[in-house]
A = this chain, B = another copy of it.
Amino acid sequence: MRKIIVQKFGGTSVADTEKIKNVAKIVIKEKENGNDVVVVVSAMGHTTDYLVKMAKDLSPNPSEREMDMLLSTGEGVSIALLAMAIQSQGYDAVSYNAMQAGILTENIHSKARILDIKTDKLKQNLKDGKIIVIAGFQGVTEEGEITTPGRGGSDTSAVALAAALNAERCDIYTDVEGVYTTDPRVVPHASKLKEISYEEMLELAHAGANVLHPRSVETAKLNNVPLRVRSSFKLNNLGTLILGVDKMELNKPVAGVAQDLSQARIVVCDVPDKPGVAAKLFSKLASENISVDMIIQSYARKVSNTNDIAFTIDKSDLNKTLVALESLKAEIGVTGDIEVDENIAKVSIVGAGMIDRPGVASLMFETLAKQGVNIRMISTSEIKISCLVDKAQSAQAVKALHTAFNLDCCDIADVKGDLPNV
């Protein structure tokens, strides 16, 4: 029984015809390894930006249906070109758009989720020896309407295909060499991880590491599909394998440090201290589709019988949030101001091994204290601790934590990650 490998190539990997030839070589090598290969491709380089620009020329607010029609053409180009490049090397290949590949989604434009993938035709093609090239970032509804999956969609398409085809692995080829212990632009001696668990990857992604979109990791976790993130330009580097925590060789206390500079902190001052007020506030925000990340409610002041509620949101939701809060102020009896701080950063450490190691949180706080970094909010999950700090001190905090948790490394070898004595 031949194994199926799903490969996914992002826009930078297919940015021009020379790069497409390079991708064809990678695909053919996997086929030569004795595997069946299904390739998922994004639109070439800046195609999507170019298409969006033309749309904005024509309409300030183009309909989502027509945007989906427009953007889906980008992958139409790259799949056909890649199939040609593979064929020109003497291999049988066929390209399919989402409609032809049978990638069925919800009937929601611009952020549709995949419902089902019809694999009969694909399996027959593989049996016939064909390499299949499929358009990422698109799907089709039962009614034949073209949809797109929203951010991270091509990765998610690839993972969903791997799950539907019961593939051995899904390889995400991109312009980075793998998942790093932290952003190498902040810490130059950050090291590439050989492996990481789905859960850690999810926390890193949510904490601001942009390698993979959380939805693709969630889909991989749900279907137990091993994911490999690697560079399409440095092939001697195997990248990072993302897999179930039970299958990992090494369970480090801290796998990585992340920073997220996209959040804003809001403090609603002098909120009446009575039941149901916080619920009203956050259900209002939820109804406006605003995601709230960290939340802190202060102790109630005895004199005024009020407290302050602080939380963080994505900066892109700031205006929407302030409008929602303003409309709510009278209703819940807020007497104080609404304070906004955009000069903040969320610094997080992530590691599946921190559960059994109580010293991790205190080492984090001590490290930040030694650097004179003031912690303004804290939130924790089972495998993550996040601290809100001043934006100006964020890089310094990341560097110090990276060193403190023994993540510094000079080569791309695997990180030891032993917890130092604390």
Sorting the interface of chain A by its residue count into under 10, 10 to 19, 20 to 34 or 35 or more gives 35 or more
Oligomer copy total: 2
Q: Is the CB of B73 within 8 A of A54?
A: no
Interface 1/0s, chain A 328-361, versus B by CB < 8 A? 0000000000000000000000000000000000
**What's the minimum C-beta distance from A110 to chain B, rounded to whole angstroms?**
13
Q: A66-B87, A70-B76, A76-B70 are in contact. Are A81 and B99 (CB under 8 A)?
A: no
- CA–CA, A94 to B67, complex, Å? 11
Find chain B residues with CB under 8 A from A391 CB: none
Q: Is the CB of B57 within 8 A of A17?
A: yes
- Which of A63, A77, A80, A83 has its CB near the most chain B CB atoms (within 10 A)? A80
| A65 beta carbon closer than 8 Å to chain B | yes
- CA–CA, A76 to B73, complex, Å? 6
- CA–CA, A79 to B146, complex, Å? 13
- Which of A60, A83, A94 has its CB near the most chain B CB atoms (within 10 A)? A83
Interface 1/0s, chain A 81-112, versus B by CB < 8 A? 10111011000001101011000000000000
**What's the minimum C-beta distance from A191 to chain B, rounded to whole angstroms?**
37
17 contacts between A and B (CB under 8 A): A17-B54, A20-B58, A54-B81, A55-B80, A58-B84, A58-B85, A59-B87, A60-B88, A63-B83, A66-B83, A66-B84, A69-B95, A70-B76, A70-B80, A72-B76, A73-B73, A100-B146
Q: Is the CB of A81 within 8 A of B77?
A: no
Q: Is the CB of B66 within 8 A of A80?
A: yes
Residue from B58, B77, B85 within 8 A of A59 (CB atoms): B85
Residue from B55, B80, B85, B100 within 8 A of A84 (CB atoms): B55
Q: Is the CB of A87 within 8 A of B69?
A: no
